[in-house]
Amino acid sequence: MSPMNIRIATLALCSSLLLTACGGDDDMATFELTVTNITSAQPFSPLTAIAAADDFQIFRLAEPASEALEQIAEGGDNSFLLASTEGDERVFATASGMGALMPGMSETLTLSLPVEDLDNAYLSAVTMLVNTNDAITAVHDISLSSLAMGESHRVMARAYDAGTEANSEAQGSIPGPADGGEGFNAERDDTGSVRVHPGVISMAGGKADSVLSEVHRFDNPVAVFSLTRIE
C-alpha cells in the first residue's frame, strides 16, 4: 500500500471511531438531581436516587414499608435499597449521596440512562431525617421524558412517616446527633403503613421524655429537589 493510501485509510478509520463515540454519547441521557436540606436541625442520611420504570416504587402511601425502606427510615442505611435494584430490569440507573447532608446544604447526584428507556423512566429519591424515629423525605414518579435539554423540574418535598417505629422521641431510639441511639430494629411497633409525617413534638412541645428540642421540629416542606437534564 502506498503512503498516500495508508494516510487515507488511517483518516477513514479515525473518522469512523469519532462517529462511533459521538453516537454512543447521543444514545445516553444524563440528569443532575440537586437536593437542598431546608430544615433547621435535621441532617439527612445519604440520598438515594433511582431512575426506573413506572411499576417500580420505593414506597406507596398507605401501604407497608419494605425492609429496604425501613433500613433507611430508621437508620439512614441505603445499602439495602441499592442492593435490591441490582439485576432488576425495571431499574435504569441509581446514585447515592456521599454522606450526611446538613441543614442548609445541597448535594448534586448524576444519573445517566439510555435514551431508548426515557419514555418509561421516572425518578424517585429518598433520604432520612436522622433526628427522628423513622421520618423520610422523598420525591417519586417524576417523568424523565418530559424534560427537554437544559430544562429543570423543582419539587418542594414534605416529610413522610415510614410507619415502622413509634415516634417516641425517647432516649436511645434516634440515630442522629440529637441522641446517637439505635438505628434499624426489625420489630415494628407503629401504624404499619407509610403516611405524611405529623412532625415531632419535642420537649419544648410538651413531651417530657423527648430527647428532641424545639430546633428539631419541622414543618413541611423539608427539602427542595431540583432535576435538570444536562445531556
Per-residue model confidence as pLDDT tens digits over 74-107: 999 999 999 999 999 999 999 999 999 999 999 9
pLDDT band at 2 (very low <50, low <70, confident <90, very high): low
* Kind plus residue range of the DSSP H or E element containing 17: helix 3-26
User: pLDDT grade, residue 191 (50/70/90)?
Assistant: confident
Q: What is the CATH number of the domain that holds 79?
A: 2.60.40.2130
- pLDDT value of position 229: 98
CA neighbor of 97 nearest in space, from 88, 106, 87: 106
Q: Name the residue range of residue 25's domain.
A: 3-229
Alpha-carbon distance of 83 to 137, in angstroms, equals: 20
Residue 83's pLDDT is 98
Mean pLDDT across 164-180 = 96
Whether the CB-CB separation of 103 and 30 falls below 8 Å is answered with no
Residue 170 makes CB contacts below 8 A (sequence gap 6+) with 209, 210, 211
Q: What is the pLDDT of residues 200-217, one digit of tens each?
A: 999 999 999 999 999 999
Number of domains making up the chain: 1
The model carries a pTM of: 0.87
For the stretch 100-141, pLDDT in tens is 999 999 999 999 999 999 999 999 999 999 999 999 999 999
Mapping DSSP to helix (H, G, I), strand (E, B) and coil, where does residue 32 land? strand
Q: Is 14 helix (H, G, I), strand (E, B) or coil?
A: helix
Using CB atoms within 10 A of its CB, is residue 220 exposed (0-12), middle (13-18) or buried (19+)? middle
Question: Which residues fall within 8 angstroms of residue 187, CB to CB, at 6 or more apart?
Answer: none
For residue 231, which of 168, 105, 166, 147 has the smallest C-alpha distance? 147
Question: Do residues 215 and 203 lie in contact, with contact meaning Cβ atoms separated by under 8 Å?
Answer: no
What is the Cα 79 distance to its own chain's centre?
12
* 141-156 confidence digits (pLDDT tens): 999 999 999 999 999 9
pLDDT of the residue at 13: 44
pLDDT tens-digit readout, 26-45: 799 999 999 999 999 999 99
